[in-house]
């Protein structure tokens, strides 16, 4: 009886330093992996389901609100009516989320809106690249009064 021994050199199996990855020898022949294709198909289906599951709440078109790119959005913690978005042309839009309609559009700044946040009362703040922070009161915005307080942040 003839016996063949497997021999490997020490250099092909050892790592040069501790941080190196270990070399794994694998046989990629489909004969030895009969469940590879069904497993791959199940993972692809599960991935597609996860994509749809995560994308579902974000699907929707908000119609004609901004003429330029939207840089920032903010949602009120208290109700669904005021969602605000700031645009690259300096406009701030107030949205009604259930109907996905633009309630009001304000020419708030001369440059791009870089930040939006809601205050504790019925107000919100916007800041821009032009160095100003403006405060808007939501009932005044809805009644088309554009009386906003502006603070210049340029030093």
d(CA 33, CA 27): 9
pLDDT, residue 155, reads: 44
Domain hosting residue 85, numbered range: 70-149
Phi, psi of 41 (to 5 degrees): -65, -45
What six digits make up the tokens of 90? 């300096």
Asked if the structure places residue 55 within a domain, the reply is no
DSSP H/E element including 105: strand 101-107
Predicted confidence band of residue 126 (pLDDT cuts 50, 70, 90): very high
Tens-place pLDDT, residues 28-69: 888 888 888 888 999 888 888 877 776 655 556 676 767 788
Asked if the structure places residue 91 within a domain, the reply is yes
Nearest by Cα to 102 from 63, 139, 73, 131: 63
Token pair 């004609």: residue: 64
Calculate Rg over the CA atoms of the chain.
29
Asked if the structure places residue 77 within a domain, the reply is yes
Q: In the chain, how many domains are there?
A: 1
Asked if the model's pLDDT at residue 151 lies above 60, the reply is no
pTM for the complete prediction?
A: 0.56
Enumerate residues 6+ apart whose C-beta is below 8 A from 15.
21, 22
Asked if the structure places residue 97 within a domain, the reply is yes
């Amino acid at each position: 009886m003839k016996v063949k021994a497997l021999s490997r050199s020490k250099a092909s199996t050892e790592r040069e330093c501790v941080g190196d990855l270990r070399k794994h020898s694998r046989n990629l022949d489909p004969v030895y992996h009969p469940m590879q294709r069904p497993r791959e198909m199940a993972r692809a289906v599960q991935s597609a389901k996860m994509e749809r599951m995560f994308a579902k709440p974000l699907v929707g078109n908000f119609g004609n609100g901004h003429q330029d790119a939207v840089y920032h959005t903010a949602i009120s913690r208290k109700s669904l009516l005021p969602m605000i978005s700031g645009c690259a042309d300096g406009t701030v839009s107030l949205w009604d989320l259930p109907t996905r309609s633009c309630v009001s559009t304000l020419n708030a700044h001369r440059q791009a809106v870089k930040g939006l946040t809601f205050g504790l009362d019925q107000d919100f703040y916007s800041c821009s690249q032009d160095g100003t922070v403006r405060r808007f009161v939501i009932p005044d915005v809805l009644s088309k009064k554009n009386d906003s307080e502006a603070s210049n942040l340029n030093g």
